[in-house]
Amino acid sequence: MTSPGLDEALTAFAARRPLLVATDYDGVLAPLRDDPSAAVPQPGVAEVLSRLAAADGVTVALISGRGLDDLRRTSGLQGAFRWVGSHGAEFDGPLAGADAGRRDELAGVLRPLVEGTPGARLEVKPASVAVHVRQVADRVRAAGLLEQARQAVDPSLTLKPGKDVLEVAVTDAHKGAAVQRLVEELDVAAALYLGDDVTDEDAFRVLGPDHLTVKVGEGETVARHRVPGPEAVVGLLGALADRLG
Ligand SMILES: O=P(O)(O)OC[C@H]1O[C@H](O[C@H]2O[C@H](CO)[C@@H](O)[C@H](O)[C@H]2O)[C@H](O)[C@@H](O)[C@@H]1O
């Protein structure tokens, strides 16, 4: 499933400087799990990210839909990385809490729907509320809950559908804006972005042909390359680290 041409594209990418190596977390660095707190990195991730971050002229960024604190805690990763949480709403560190009132109001709307669906789970994040249905055995009810949630919320809020989840955000932050901001701030010659979900398409879209975009797993994408899953991601990042010397 690894796309033809990726190896050559990686070699060309590695020859440029400065570089941004940006990656999503769930489904890319960590295999998906029923319990989000159990989604730990694929073996080899910590080592390869450290190798990349140590290379001259290379910045590594983790850009996740998770809240920043959750991302750090669950991943257990440490290093001189740029940490971006809440789809970009947490760009320079944790949110101060200005949006907490609106978010709690939203949680109040969604909670009764979730509590009425066995297996569903509500996740209250810094700038959003997520309705998770991965563990809803009745798939018709799972789809019904996500639709009910869509209908129940204020239409001015931002809907972010994902893998067995619908997230409703009180900010309009998205990963595309976060990547763009890093590219400009760091003034990089090229960026690599790895992502597996619908919200990663925003990041793929802002990166033109000078950059390297890699979709992880199946599904429609505007990314130019594809690898099958987190194990292949470790292989790809290792191959990049080898080329960076
Ligand atoms: O942007 P990401 O780093 O990919 O984060 C996206 C969401 O990831 C988590 O949910 C997803 O992964 C869970 C663990 O594998 C899985 O149980 C769930 O079904 C997936 O949707 C996280 O819980 C969300 O907050 C993130 O937005």
DSSP structure string for 104-137:
HHHHHHHHHHHHTSTT-EEEE-SSEEEEE-TT-S
Q: Which domains does the chain have, with CATH numbers?
A: 6-91+173-244 (3.40.50.1000), 100-169 (3.30.70.1020)
Amino acid identity at 126: P
**Distance linking the first and last C-alpha atoms of the chain:** 27
Complex prediction ipTM: 0.98
Atom of ligand 1 nearest to the CA of 67: 25
Atom of ligand 1 nearest to the CA of 195: 4
Percent with pLDDT over 70 in the chain: 100
Measure 125 CA to ligand 1 centroid, in angstroms: 12
Helix, strand or coil, per DSSP, at residue 83:
strand
Strands 165-169 and 158-162: antiparallel
Strand partners, 60: 21
- Smallest CA separation from ligand 1 atom 7, residue: 65
Confidence (pLDDT) at 1: 66
Q: Which residues line ligand 1 (CB under 6 A)?
A: 24-27, 32-34, 36, 39, 64-66, 123, 125, 130, 132, 134, 162-165, 167, 197, 199
Atom of ligand 1 nearest to the CA of 200: 1
Q: Band the pLDDT of 2: cuts 50, 70, 90.
A: confident
- Smallest CA separation from ligand 1 atom 23, residue: 36
Amino acid identity at 99: D
Reference 82, options 196, 236, 185; nearest CA is 185
How is residue 82 annotated by DSSP?
Answer: E
* Span 75-85, average pLDDT: 97
**pTM for this prediction:** 0.96
CA distances from 236 to 1, 29, 230 (A): 13, 11, 10
